Every structure is written in structure tokens, then in C-alpha cells.
Chain A
Amino acid sequence: MHPSASGSTTNISAGPAATPEHGPNAAAPASSESAAIALVGNPNVGKTALFNALTGYRRHVANYPGVSVDLARGPVRGASRTLEVLDLPGTYSLTPASPDEAIVCDVLCGHAPPRPAAILAIVDATNLPRNLYLLSQVLEVGLPAVIALNMIDAARARGIEVDARLLAERLGLPVVPVIATQPETVAPLVPVLESALRAAPPATRVPLPDALARATSALVASAPAPLQPAKALRVLADPDGHSEKQFFKLGGDRCVLAEAREALRAAGIDPGPAEVRARYAWIDRILDGVVIRNLPPGDTWSDRIDRLLTHRVAGVAALAALLYAAFYTIYAGAQPLMDAIDGGVGWLGLRIGELLPAGALRSLVAEGVLGGVGGVLAFLPQILTLFALIAILEDCGYMARAAFMVDRLMRPLGLSGRAFIPLLSSFACAVPAIMGARAIGDRRERFITILIAPFMSCSARLPVYTLLIGALVPAHAWLGGWVRLDALVMLGMYLVGVVFAIPIALLLRKTAFAGPSTGFVLELPGYKWPRLRTVLQRMYLAGWSFVVRAGTVILAVNIVVWALGYFPRSADARAALEQQQQAAGWDDASFESQLAGAYLRESYLGRLGRVIEPAIEPLGWDWRIGIGVLSSFPAREVVIATLGTISNLGEETDARSPSLRSAIQAMTWEDTGKPLFTLPVALSLMVFFALCAQCVSTLVVIGRETHSWMWPCASFVGMTTLAYLVAWGTSAAGRALGL
């Protein structure tokens, strides 16, 4: 059924009906190659889950709006050809309110590649009226379409039944009920998509008020290039918006637009709201009798959970308890497994040491590779725990609630609860978090979020904290082990970043990003059980990328560090020491250990270390820590590998400690022989890592998302300076307190 034009309403298809750019013929020549199918829908309706089910990919799925913020493509094998599915960000309308939504608009309107040949519109069966709003706009862009009616399981559980056949009949389009999280239910979509590629675009047009239809036609008629009525309507509905910019870019006439707007004003019509009302009126007609609600009386399950989890006392307490429990699990939960790996790697290093002949090769394998990269790999269980916790939080629906609760607290910083979601995921990794900020509509808020995200301690800092805390913080526990000093210090390290991010956000707010405060509109999805598969996928991807980093960047930097620390090994150094041996009366073992130390001091690395020593002396660090920090600028975890390698190089093989932690404890000042790592040194080193911008990928992403080179440079210089100053302060304060 096409709701017919009646009374004061007219179809907007009054313009040139089949525009050459989008007509059914446009799709035909593409039929030999793989045809792109755009997945379009509201946020959080399961687009990515469906994309994964169709393609077998592992894109990030989570239960809050705004997870996907860029475009992904994946192949689907049909009976006659391979289709290419495009996973897009979610949007509520084709009038974009944020950069991620603009991507959808650009792809559908053909402003940006790739050019879809058809649309797979996905709608959420639990919430059809609002989902049909976007659908009504999407059906007017002139591409053949198929509708996936998703979440039918959730709808049924809530007492909502949807008559898919009636809906298909009313829309004149195929409607396929699916459950995206159960891949076997999506198979029937593929043949429907294949035949849709040969179908004509839907003729659905929402009847608009006369004046609006006339203004739309006027714009279409005046356009230099063929302009679809649907696009003309977008231009009218959103003054100064995205579509208007595109209109002018394509040579649209300012005078005609101004005239059309004036005519609407004279008719007393505000185009945006008028369009909304017309569409919802159409939706009511389409859905009449399609959705049958048998909602059980009383509160929903989700609402009862919210009563507790967003309660003004219980909710806040629950949030605090949850965060502490997360730190405790990450710090203490993974410990036994990590100790086992660390011990195993150390043992392997010693055995290989025995097997290989003494010399450069043995040193490279035992000290460079195993002592360094092996030490880093020991942190894998902890990384996996962190990502598992984050995935569970994200997929149960709590993220949006946490954002809802903290919105009021973030307001003075010029941020909203919306910014809380990327900031929290920045504790896993700043790179996706900074991209995730695309879902924030307001530019000022988005930029502040991007710039403070690197202050949140990411998973690459976690091994550094764990190693130093494990080696130097005394084991105190209270309340039967539930409160532990080491877990508290860990929490403290995470808070350092947060505490410094606050004044920085305020500063940015007062200077570069001054302006009115933004709104906070966030959909709160229903709670659901986190899906095991989603959690495991998240862990797998994070774990794999950690291992790859260890095997590439970390290994490469570490081999360079090893080589600089091993060579040149001059015979002079040995000869000089042999002379001393007679005088000092050293036995062979202490001679060997003296020699290892002398070689390291004489090495290229040792010489470089003495050059940088004056810069780090105020912090209470020696040159070996300085080298560790320098080497960690490509990737933070490198410091662990470097310290492992340097401490081993400075020791003669048999005296080497089997675990990295005891190696750290055993390092001493070269001149006085006092322990190198004291509590103030460890704290200042951790604080340095908490605040420093030692991550190339983060800086690159900041540059990309802010479209400037100034912000990544400012971030790097600012954060590094801050890190240095605060590390110096920590070290000085620690010594003053006599720690």
C-alpha cells in the first residue's frame, strides 16, 4: 500500500522521477562485479551483529548506541555472485547530527564511495515506530531495498508481535525476520538480496504538506545537476546543515534556496518539524495492525534493574564497587597465571643459555628475545582479563547507564555523559576510543574528549604498573584480603590520569573550545545477558593484537636495544678489568659479573645513556631507566622488554634471576651498589607512564580525527612535559617523605 496523496498533501516524487544517477538501470551494469549492499539502520539495532553473521567477520558489537563509527566491507557469497556488504554507523535520520552519522548520509547520497547498489535496511522489532522514521527517508533515495526485521526474539520476550507479511505488503518490499545474533536465521536474507539487486527502487513516498512539496520541487527544478526530491527535502529541512553544504558544493543556487525557504515561511511551515510530523503520520498508517503489543502489566525487567543500578545511593555505590572490583580482578585475578608464564620464560632462557655456545647468538636469544619480549608476553592473561571485563560491561547495557549517571558530574568540564563512553573504553585503548568520539555531535565536546582520552591508562600501561607494583609495593592487605595495598596503588595510578585530565579539560573549555554547553541525548538500551561469543571475540582480537605487537614493534625495538647494549665488547675493557682482578683479588664469578657490567657501560647504549643522564637525574632515575623510557616511545610495553634485556645484559648468565620482577628488584646503582628501584623511583616512573603520550598510533588518530597536525603535536609536547614535571615532583616528594 502506498498511502495516497489526499487533501492538502502531495507526493514529493513530483520532480524528475527516475534521476539518471539512481535509476534502476544504474545498478544493472554492476551486476558482473561484486555489488555493494549498504546496511542501514538506527544505532544499536544489530547492524554489526548482522554484518558479522553474513560475512563471518568479527567487527566490534556492543549494547550501546554509537559502537561502529566507520565503514567496513565484507563479502557474502550468494548463489550466483558475491555480494559486498557495507557495515555503516547507526543514525536516527539522514539529517546527520554527528560525524559518524554524516558517513551514512554521504554513502547513501553518493557523496562518498563506495556506491551501494542496494540497501539492507535493518529495523528493531521491539521499537518499530522510531525505526521506520529513518526507513521512510532511506526508501526515498532511489535504491532497491530489503528489510531485515531484527531482534524478533527480544520483541517476543517483551510481548511485542510483528506481522512481517502485512508489513511487507504495506511497504511493497521484502521483509525478512531475523535474529542477528543467531547466524543460522540470517541465511534466508542472501537470496532475497540477490533478487533485490535486479528490482526497481521502491516507489514509497511519504506525502508532504503542499507548501513543502512545492518548495522541494522548486529546488529540484532549479538544480544545475540532477537533484533527487529526497535530497532537496534534506537541504530544506536542515538549514546550515550537512546536506545544505553538499548542495552548494554541487553548484546549488543560493537565491533559489532562499526563495524556497521564504515561501515556506510565508506559508507558516517550518520544514524540519513539518517533515517529522508527516513521516510519523505515515508510520502510524503503515504500522496500524502490524505491531501487536501484549505487554505484561507491571515494570519491565530492565526497569527493575535500573531502579537499583541508577539509584541515587545504591547506584553510585554500585558504580564505585564495580570499578574497584574490576581493578581487583585485573590486578589480582590474573596474577597466578602471569607468574607461571614469567617463570616459564625465565626457565626457558636459562635452558637455552646452556644449549647455545656463549657469544652473541646466545645473548640475542636469551637476553634480547626471551628476556625482553618473553617478559612482555607474560602480561597476556592480564590484558585478556581487562578486555573480558570491558566486553561484559559493554554488552550488558550498563555503559549507557553509567553515562546517564555521570552526565551531571561531567557538565562543568564542558562534557556530557556521551563522552563518558569513549573515555571509559580508553582504559582499554585510546585509538578506538578517540574514533568513538565521532558519535559526539558537538564539535567542542568531541575535541575535548579526543584530547583527554590519552590520559586514561590504556592496556599498554597496565604491564608497566603491574611489574613495578609487584616488585616494589609491600604486600599489605586488610578486610580479609579484599582491600590490598597493591590493588589500591594500581587504582591510584589510573586515577592520576583522570585527575590530570580534569584541569586540562577545563583549560580547553575556557580557551580553545569556549562556548555554550551541549545537550545530552542518549538512548538507553534494555539490559541483556552479555553474549559469550561477543566477549570471546573481543578477548581474542585484543590478545592477538597484543601478541602481534610483541612479535613486531616490541621485538624490533628490543633487538635494536639489545644490539646497542651488546656491542662493541672491546678487548681493552676485558684487559683493563683483568689487571684490576689481580689487585682486588676477585674470584672468577665476581670477575664475570664485573665484566658484564663493564661491557654494558662501554656499549653504545651505555654511552647514549650517559648523554641523556643529566636530563633524567633530577627524577632519581639512572641511565638504564632513561633508555627504557626512551625506547618505549614507539609502544609503551617496550620498556618492560628493554629493562629485562638491560638487566640481563648487566649480569653474568648464571646469576640471572628467573623472573623479571626479581631482576628489577636486584638492579643496583652502578657506583654505590644501592638498590636502583626504590618506591619513589617506581612511583615516579609509573606516573610518567600514566601521563606521557608515548603512542604513535594515538597521535596519528588524533591528527586524523581533528583534521590538523597541531593537536597531535600539542598533545605530544604537552603530555610529555607534564609527565616529566609530575614524575620529578613525585620523586622529590617521595624522597622528602623518606619512602
Chain B
Amino acid sequence: MPLDTAPVRKMLRITGVSASDPLTYRLMEMGLIEGRQVQVLRRAPWGDPMHLRVGDYELSLRATEAALIDVAAE
């Protein structure tokens, strides 16, 4: 499933990253690549962006970019 629809606080594993515009490239460089774990911690007060935990750090990302990342529940 795309990351933007993923349930909150579930441990997820990235199964694919589509598109390769500079922004997704940067997300990959920051560790959002296949096989890594992510977790959606929460959404911002107005529903977007999302607060993620990626490995050992935390990151904020809009749903439109999160939609380019496919994840599966662990």
C-alpha cells in the first residue's frame, strides 16, 4: 500500500519507491529505500503532513510525496 494510506503506529517495511524526480531521489538518500523500516507516528493537525520515523530519526513528509513510497505491514 502507499505510505500515505498506511495505519498510524504500525511497523512498516518499504517495498518500493516509484518516480525519480529530485525530491524522491532525496528521500531515498535520506534512507527511504526498499527493505527499510518506517512508522507513521501521526498526522499534523490539519491531516497533512505526516510525521514518520525512518530508522533512527524522525521526518515530516507530505501525503503527496508519501504516496510515491510503497510499504507493507511487518
For window 13-66 of B, CB contacts with A under 8 Å fall at 17, 20, 22-23, 25-31, 33-34, 36, 41-42, 44-49, 51, 54-62, 64-65
Footprint of A on B, CB under 8 Å? 17, 20, 22-23, 25-31, 33-34, 36, 41-42, 44-49, 51, 54-62, 64-65
Distance between A473 CB and nearest chain B CB, rounded to angstroms: 33
Q: Which of A61-111 contact B (CB under 8 A)?
A: 92-93, 95, 97
Q: Do B57 and A238 touch across chains, with their CB atoms under 8 A apart?
A: no
B26 contacts across to A, CB distance below 8 A: 92-93, 95, 97, 521
Please tell me if the beta carbons of A310 and B55 are within 8 angstroms of each other in the complex: no
Residues of B within 8 A of A238 (CB): 22, 25
Instruction: Name the interface residues of A283-334: CB closer than 8 Å to any CB of B.
Output: 302-303, 306-307, 310-313, 315-316
Q: A311-B45, A404-B49 are in contact. Are A521 and B28 (CB under 8 A)?
A: no
Evaluate contact between A315 and B45: CB separation under 8 angstroms: yes
Would you call A407 and B29 a contact (CB within 8 A)? Answer: no
* A95 CB contacts on chain B under 8 angstroms: 25-26, 29
- B22: chain A residues within 8 A (beta carbon): 97, 238, 241
Whether the Cβ atoms of A408 and B59 lie closer than 8 Å is no
In the complex, chain A residues whose CB is within 8 Å of the CB of B54:
130
Stretch at the interface among A271-279, A582-590, A695-703: A271-279
Contact B44 A405 (CB under 8 A): yes
Q: Is the CB of B25 within 8 A of A312?
A: no
A354 to B11, CA, bound (A): 78
A519 is an interface residue with CB less than 8 A from chain B: yes
The yes or no answer to A26 lying at the interface (CB within 8 A) is no
A-B contacts, 24 of them at CB < 8 A, read A93-B29, A95-B29, A127-B57, A129-B55, A130-B56, A130-B57, A241-B22, A273-B20, A276-B25, A280-B31, A303-B41, A306-B41, A310-B51, A311-B45, A407-B60, A407-B62, A408-B46, A520-B61, A521-B59, A521-B60, A521-B65, A523-B30, A523-B60, A524-B58
Measured CA separation A400–B60 after assembly (Å): 9
Contact A409 B49 (CB under 8 A): no
Q: Provide the bound-state CA to CA distance between A272 and B24, in Å.
A: 10
A521 and B25 contact, CB distance less than 8 A? no
In contact, A519 and B64 (Cβ under 8 angstroms): yes
List A contacts of B56 (CB < 8 A).
126-130, 160
The residues of A that contact B36 with a CB separation of less than 8 Å are 280
Nearest residue in A to B64 (C-beta to C-beta)?
A519
Residue of A nearest to B25 (CB): A272
A408→B29 contact, CB < 8 A: no
A128 to B31, CA, bound (A): 11
Q: Are A409 and B64 CB-contacts (below 8 A) given A97-B22, A277-B33?
A: no
Q: How far is the CA of A405 from the CA of B46 in the complex (A)?
A: 8
Contacts of B28 in A (CB 8 A): 272-273, 276
A124 to chain B, nearest CB (A): 8
Given the contacts A273-B25, A522-B60, A312 and B45 also touching, CB distance less than 8 Å? yes
Question: Is residue A353 contacting chain B, with contact meaning CB distance below 8 A?
Answer: no
8 Å CB interface, A205-252 against B: 237-238, 241
Q: Residue on B with the closest CB to A241? A: B22
With A241-B22, A523-B58 known to touch, is A276 a contact of B46 (CB < 8 Å)? Answer: no
A133 at the interface (CB under 8 A from B): yes
Please give, as numbers and ranges, the residues of chain B lying within 8 Å of A306 by CB-CB distance: 41-42, 51
Residues of A within 8 A of B65 (CB): 519-521
Minimum CB–CB distance from A397 to chain B (whole Å) comes to 10
**B28 CB to closest chain A CB, in angstroms?**
4
**How far apart are B22's CB and chain A's nearest CB, in angstroms?**
6
Contact of A407 among B20, B49, B59 (CB under 8 A): B49
Q: Which residue from B41, B42, B47, B61 sits with its C-beta under 8 Å from A408?
A: B47
Q: Closest A-chain residue to B65, C-beta based?
A: A519
Q: Which residues from A are CB-within-8-Å of B58? A: 302, 523-526
| Cβ contact within 8 Å between A408 and B23 | no
| A-chain residues with CB within 8 Å of residue B62 when the two chains form the complex | 407, 416, 519-520
Residues of A within 8 Å of B45, CB to CB, are: 310-313, 315-316, 405, 408
- Chain A contact residues, CB within 8 Å of chain B: 92-93, 95, 97, 126-130, 133, 160, 237-238, 241, 270, 272-273, 276-277, 280, 302-303, 306-307, 310-313, 315-316, 400, 403-405, 407-409, 416-417, 519-526
Q: In the bound complex, how far is the Cα of B69 from the Cα of A591, in angstroms?
A: 83
B51 engages A407 (CB within 8 Å):
no
Chain B residues near A417 (CB-CB < 8 A): 49, 60
Identify the 5 closest CB pairs spanning chains A and B, nearest first: A408-B46, A312-B45, A127-B56, A524-B58, A276-B28
Partner of A92, one of B20, B29, B33, B47: B29
Name the distance in Å between A223's Cβ and chain B's nearest Cβ.
24
Q: Which of chain B's residues have a CB closer than 8 A to the CB of A280?
A: 31, 33, 36
Question: Complex formed: what's the CA distance from A519 to B49 in Å?
Answer: 10
Given contacts A277-B34, A416-B62, A521-B59, 10 further A-B contacts (CB under 8 A): A93-B26, A133-B30, A272-B20, A273-B17, A277-B33, A404-B44, A404-B49, A404-B51, A417-B49, A519-B65
On chain B, the residues within 8 Å of A525 by CB distance are 58
Q: Tell me if B61 and A521 are in contact (CB < 8 A).
A: yes
Taking the nearest CB of chain B, how far is it from the CB of A579, in angstroms?
Answer: 74
In the assembled complex, the Cα of A315 lies from the Cα of B48 at a distance in Å of: 14
A189, chain B: closest CB distance, angstroms: 24
Bound state CA distance, A126 and B56, in angstroms?
A: 7
Residues of B within 8 A of A404 (CB): 44, 49, 51, 60
> Which residue from B20, B31, B41, B44 sits with its C-beta under 8 Å from A129?
B31
Chain A residues with Cβ below 8 Å from B49 are 404, 407-408, 417, 520
Residues of B within 8 A of A127 (CB): 55-57
Residues of A within 8 A of B17 (CB): 273
Q: Are B60 and A524 in contact (CB under 8 A)?
A: yes
List of A residues within 8 angstroms of B48 by Cβ: 407-408
The minimal Cβ–Cβ distance linking B17 to chain A, given in whole angstroms, is 7
Q: Which residues of A contact B64 (CB under 8 A)?
A: 519
Chain A nearest CB, measured from B13 CB (Å):
14
| Complex CA distance for A130 and B31, rounded to whole angstroms | 6
Distance in angstroms between the alpha carbons of A519 and B42 in the assembled complex: 18
Contact indicator B27/A521 (Cβ below 8 Å):
yes
Is A520 in contact with B31, judged by CB distance below 8 angstroms? no
- The distance in angstroms between the C-alpha atoms of A404 and B60, with both chains bound, is 7
Roughly how many angstroms separate A241 CA and B26 CA in the complex, as a whole number? 13
Contact across chains for B25 and A523 when beta carbons are under 8 A apart: no
Rounded to whole angstroms, the CA-CA distance of A495 and B42 in the bound complex is 30
A44 to B: closest C-beta gap in Å: 10
Chain A residues within an 8 Å CB radius of B29: 92-93, 95, 133, 276
A517 to B, closest residue via Cβ: B64
A163 to chain B, nearest CB (A): 16
A129 to B47, CA, bound (A): 30
Question: In the complex, what residues of B have CB within 8 A of residue A311's CB?
Answer: 45
**Once the chains are docked, how many angstroms separate the CA of A18 from the CA of B44?**
50
Cβ contact within 8 Å between B33 and A130 = no
- Tell me the bound Cα distance from A416 to B55 in angstroms: 24
Across-interface contacts of B46 in A (CB, < 8 A): 312, 408-409
Taking CB atoms, residues of chain B closer than 8 Å to A519 are: 23, 61-62, 64-65
**A residues within 8 A CB of B30?**
92, 130, 133, 521, 523
Q: A130-B55, A306-B51 are in contact. Are A408 and B44 (CB under 8 A)?
A: yes
Q: Which residues of B contact A126 (CB under 8 A)?
A: 56-57
